[in-house]
Every structure is written in structure tokens, then in C-alpha cells.
């Protein structure tokens, strides 16, 4: 697996060199949603598929140092293992990279059974809309969702790290999806996370803000002129706030 790690560093460095020569982009993401935690080793999260048992943190640090030699002013985006979820930033006492100008990426999908309803073996919950969706005795409201995000805030307060929320979304077919988006966007702003992006506009129908169920066919389609969705209106509201 050492060859894979070296190849990763070489390819990433080559990409950054191209960006630098073209004057394109101001940031570069080291790893996006790396693998899940297998074990811990002296405060490092060990990546479940290597390389050589090295951690995600160490692999990103190696890549970052190579990038800095090429482009010392580029902002870098680092991620925790386990899909960049909030809890994994505190698991095994993860520490920031020993470099300046690094932003840490969070992907936010909580609770997973709600945000991914109908995917990966989960079930849609047509009779259990958000807020108040229940599972294993927990009624999920804005408070419970915010409690999950607080795991990220622990990392921020301890290390003074800046956070980029690279993904958050909720399945379009799940009742209450618009309210979940509204609550999460509010929570992101309340936590002071200045950089965030919705996932994903105009792509997979499950996340697409313009996806709507046709009343005649019952199938999903994109909205037409004059149509909208409650999820789209919620995100337009928050995008407008960021332009103020």
C-alpha cells in the first residue's frame, strides 16, 4: 500500500502545480470523505484501507507538505476519516495538521436514517416526518441534530480550527426534508462556520433541489417554469443571507 500512498502524493502535487501555473482556484482538498475508522493508534485514526496502516492524518500531512513546496500560499482542505463526520474529529483525539492555512471539512448527515431514507438499505419514513422522527427512543428535532454538530464544535474550540461544511442534504422524498435543511443551515450559521456548500444542486434526484414528483405519472422530474420546491425555497433564503 506504500506505493498507493506515494502515487497519491505525486498525483496531488501534479494537480496543484497545474492549478498554480494556471492561476486557478484558491484552495485544494487533500482527501474528500476518506474511509471509515478501523482502530486507533496513538491518537491517530487509522484508515481502513491503508496505506501500510498509516492514518488519514499522516497521509494528508505528507501530501500537504509536498503542496506547500510547490504553492506555499494555497489554502488546503483536510478531512477526518469516517466520511468527514463531526464525531470522528474527536475520536482518538485527532489533531490538526502542523501547517498554516488549513481548513477542516465536515460532511453533515444526521440522523443518517433520515437524510438517506430509501438509500443503502434504509427505509423511507412517510408516516414519521421530521421534526419528531423517532428511532431507538430518540425524537429527532433541531436540538438533537444540533447536538451532533456540537462534536465538530469541540474540535474547533480546542484547536481554533476553521471549518468548511462541504456537504449536507436530506432525501427529497422524505417528509420534512425542507425543515431539516432549514434547521441545519441555521445551525451552521449559529456555530459560526462561514464556509458551506449544499449537496448537491442539479445532480442525483435524491438531493436535487429541483426534483419534484409528477402528479400524473408519479415519477420524479425536474421543475418547470413557474414551479418550485419547498427545499429550493429554503436554500434560496439561506443563500440570500450570505449575500447580505
| pLDDT per residue as tens digits for the range 67-104 | 888 878 888 888 887 778 888 887 656 778 888 889 99
pLDDT at res. 37: 47
In degrees, to the nearest 5, what angle opens at C-alpha 240 toward C-alphas 239 and 242? Answer: 65
pLDDT for 6 equals: 76
Model confidence at 35, pLDDT cuts 50, 70, 90, reads low
In angstroms and rounded to an integer, the radius of gyration of the C-alpha atoms of the chain is: 20
pTM: 0.83
Choices 3.40.190.10, 3.90.1150.10, 3.50.50.60, 3.20.20.80: CATH for 2-242? 3.20.20.80
Tens digit of pLDDT for each residue in 94-147? 778 888 889 999 999 999 889 998 887 777 677 788 998 888 788 999 999 999
Q: Is 75 helix (H, G, I), strand (E, B) or coil?
A: strand
Question: Please, which residues have CB within 8 angstroms of residue 115's CB and are 6 or more apart in sequence?
Answer: 109, 169, 170, 171, 174, 180
Phi and psi dihedrals of 197, rounded to 5?
Answer: -135, 140
Residues in CB range of 131: below 8 A, 6 or more apart: 139, 140, 141, 142, 176, 179, 180, 183
Q: Where are the domains of the chain?
A: 2-242
What letters, b where the CB count within 10 A reaches 16 and e where it falls short, cover 157-169? eeeebbbbbbbbb
Amino acid at each position: 500500500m506504500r506505493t498507493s500512498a506515494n502515487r497519491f502524493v505525486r498525483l496531488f502535487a501534479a494537480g496543484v502545480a497545474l492549478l498554480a501555473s494556471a492561476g486557478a482556484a484558491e484552495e485544494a482538498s487533500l482527501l474528500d470523505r476518506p474511509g471509515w475508522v478501523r482502530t486507533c493508534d496513538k491518537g491517530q485514526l487509522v484508515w481502513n484501507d491503508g496505506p501500510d496502516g498509516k492514518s488519514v492524518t499522516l497521509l494528508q500531512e505528507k501530501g500537504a507538505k509536498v503542496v506547500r513546496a510547490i504553492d506555499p500560499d494555497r489554502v488546503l482542505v483536510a478531512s477526518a476519516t469516517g466520511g468527514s463526520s463531526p464525531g470522528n474529529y474527536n475520536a482518538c483525539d485527532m489533531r490538526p495538521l502542523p501547517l498554516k492555512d488549513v481548513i477542516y471539512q465536515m460532511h453533515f448527515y444526521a440522523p443518517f436514517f433520515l437524510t438517506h431514507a430509501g438509500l443503502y438499505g434504509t427505509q423511507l419514513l412517510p408516516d414519521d416526518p421530521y421534526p419528531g422522527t423517532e428511532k431507538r427512543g430518540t425524537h429527532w428535532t433541531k436540538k438533537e441534530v444540533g447536538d451532533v454538530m456540537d462534536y465538530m464544535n469541540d474540535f474547533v474550540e480546542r484547536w481554533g480550527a476553521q471549518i468548511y461544511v462541504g456537504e449536507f442534504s436530506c432525501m427529497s422524498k422524505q417528509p420534512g426534508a425542507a425543515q431539516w435543511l432549514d434547521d441545519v443551515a441555521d445551525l451552521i450559521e449559529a456555530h459560526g462556520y462561514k464556509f458551506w456548500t449544499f449537496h448537491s444542486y442539479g445532480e442525483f434526484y435524491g438531493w436535487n433541489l429541483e426534483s419534484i414528483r409528477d402528479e400524473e405519472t408519479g415519477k420524479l422530474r425536474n421543475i418547470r417554469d413557474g414551479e418550485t420546491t419547498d427545499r429550493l425555497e429554503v436554500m434560496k433564503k439561506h443563500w440570500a443571507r450570505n449575500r447580505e
